[in-house]
Amino acid sequence: MTRRRLLEGVLCAALCLVGAVARGAPLTDTANVSYSTWTVSGSSSGPSVLLKFLLPEALAQSLTATGLPVLTTRKLGEFVLRHVAVGAAGRNCPAVDQGYDIGIVDPLAVGPALHGFEILFRCPVSGALTLHDHALFDRSAGHVNFARIVKDGRVVEQLFTAAHQELRLPAAGSVPAAGFGQYLRLGVMHLFRSPAPLCFLVGSLLLLRRRREVLWLAGAVVVGYGISLAVSTRSWILPRVPLLEAYMGFLVALLAAMITLRELRQPRVSMLGCPALLAVLAILTAFTSHHLQMLVLAGAAMLAASLLVANLWFESRRELWLVPVVLVGFLDGFALPAALEPLQLPQRSQAWMVAAFDCGAALAAVASMVLLLAALSVLRGRLRTALRRLPASELAAAGLGGLGTFWLLSRLYN
């Protein structure tokens, strides 16, 4: 068995694993976040902390099946109250009624896609404060709470994660802010929890024909994230998560068409399958009220057709197949800006956070491809017999096409 055949088999197995884990998961890992603002103010009797907690509606709905029998605003507010706390000098700060005659937890009007709650903690003694946030981490280890700490007229950004559910604020001095390394790690974990970019990157290794093309592939990923960083920090594009995920699914389906075109030598199948299907869907959608979805499908059909025709006519121009790779990095680079949108951060504050996050995601993407190819060289002898008759390219193209189409349609019409 040739080395090429072995590569196809290993990558096909990796795609099956990613696809199995990906079922039901958010494509870009932007839905599993919440937000909090902790405003610290002092008084003669002791400090007080006003907490504003924001929970996306989709994440709130998931609590219905995991603990809240009937989801109401009151029950959701009680859930938040049970999982947040403030301590001062080793003593708990009780939550108090703010005087609106609606209880300790005050619901806030924060928009159609968010649930907002406000809780006031009054501390009986002065001293260093400890903020506790244990909401949702027991249900999802990958959950992230983006927190803002307001104290003494200064605002800093922090993160609550499953491994970092408490934050200590000094009695005097500046409040610590989340560092570059924390957002770098967040970017690394984001990529491994986002099945669409991961499926695309693993599948794109099937298009490699020479070792040096691994460098091209890695460079295209980095370029994509770099362009996204430059655009997102300027606030030129306001990302919409459903459309972002839908287009990511389209790129996965487009990769299947490119594998069919370049590796299986089936130009009619690839040329008619992907662009024609998208064009038909765009025409059918035009007769509905989903006009934005129709434009997305029409644009995707034209992009798919132009790239596939260019790859067919200019096969010697190997860099053409890197265009979708750049697009994947570009789209995935908007994951953090989309997640941070409800906080409305200043441009300078958000820029370095996104830069660290994108660096982590790009490093994880390159590392995953290098490690997969390294594993191939180690397992080469053991897998020869098992993969000799496996139609790996065919299975990979079919799997990518099915996953990409499902992700595209489920996100686009959700």
What is the residue-wise DSSP string for 347-367?
HHHHHHHHHHHHHHHHHHHHH
402-413 average pLDDT score: 84
- Cα–Cα distance measured from residue 277 to residue 258, given in angstroms and rounded to the nearest whole number: 15
- Distances in Å between the alpha carbon of 74 and those of 96, 107, 395? 16, 8, 49
What's residue 30's pLDDT?
56
pLDDT of residue 186 exceeding 50: yes
CA distance 85 to 402: 46
Q: Where are the alpha helices (DSSP H) in 175-290?
A: 180-192, 195-204, 213-232, 241-262, 267-286
Sign of torsion, CA 330 333 334 335? positive
Q: Residues 252-279: pLDDT tens digits?
A: 888 888 887 776 666 666 777 788 888 8
- The whole-number pLDDT of residue 52 equals 94
Residue predicted with more confidence, 47 or 89: 47
This prediction's pTM: 0.81
pLDDT band at 226 (very low <50, low <70, confident <90, very high): very high
Give the domain ranges of the chain.
3-29+194-412, 34-178
Owner of token pair 């430059």: 230
Q: What is the largest CA-CA distance in the chain?
A: 80
| Band of pLDDT at residue 244, cut at 50, 70 and 90 | confident
How confident is the model over 299-323, as a mean pLDDT?
77
**Among all chains, which residue has been given the structure tokens 């979708």?**
324
The answer to whether residue 365 scores a pLDDT higher than 50 is: yes
Q: What is the mean pLDDT of residues 98-126?
A: 83
Each residue's pLDDT tens digit, 29-88: 556 889 999 999 876 567 889 999 998 887 877 776 555 555 677 888 888 899 999 998
Q: Which residue has the tokens 């500046």?
A: 174
- For residue 376, pLDDT over 50 is answered with yes
As a whole number of angstroms, the distance between CA 27 and CA 29 comes to 6
pLDDT of residue 26: 47
Contact 308, 270 (CB under 8 A): yes
pLDDT reported for residue 27: 44
- Nearest partner of 107 among 155, 53, 170, 71, judged by Cα: 53
Q: Six-digit token pair at 158? A: 């922090």
Averaged pLDDT for residues 335-363: 88
366 has pLDDT over 70: yes
Tokens of 20: 């199995």
